[in-house]
Amino acid sequence: MAAKKKSKEEAIKTWTIDDKEYNIADLSESAKSQIVNIRVVDQEIAQLKQQLAIMQTARNAYGSALNTEIADKKIKAKTKAKKH
């Protein structure tokens, strides 16, 4: 059951499900409530995707910092070994 969204103005008046467009004004209160629920969940999903992108960026930065730290320790260990 794929739901498609139109432009903001059209989305307020109609809702498309499985390639069939419905006039929201003609739907039951229960159906209208489900549309509201879908919109709320879509907004939450979008927000979670943004948070996930932030967390993935942070994880990549931590991984990069770890790689740098490990590489620096190897260089220091080799330098120290050569001096002795």
Predicted confidence (pLDDT) per residue in 9-18, tens digit: 555 799 999 9
The pLDDT of residue 83 is 67
> Residue 45: which H helix or E strand, with range?
helix 29-83
pTM above 0.75, yes or no: no
Number of structural domains the chain divides into? 1
Describe the strand order of the beta sheet including 3-4 as a list of residue ranges: 3-4, 14-17, 20-23
The pLDDT of residue 47 is 98
Which residues constitute the domain of residue 78? 3-83
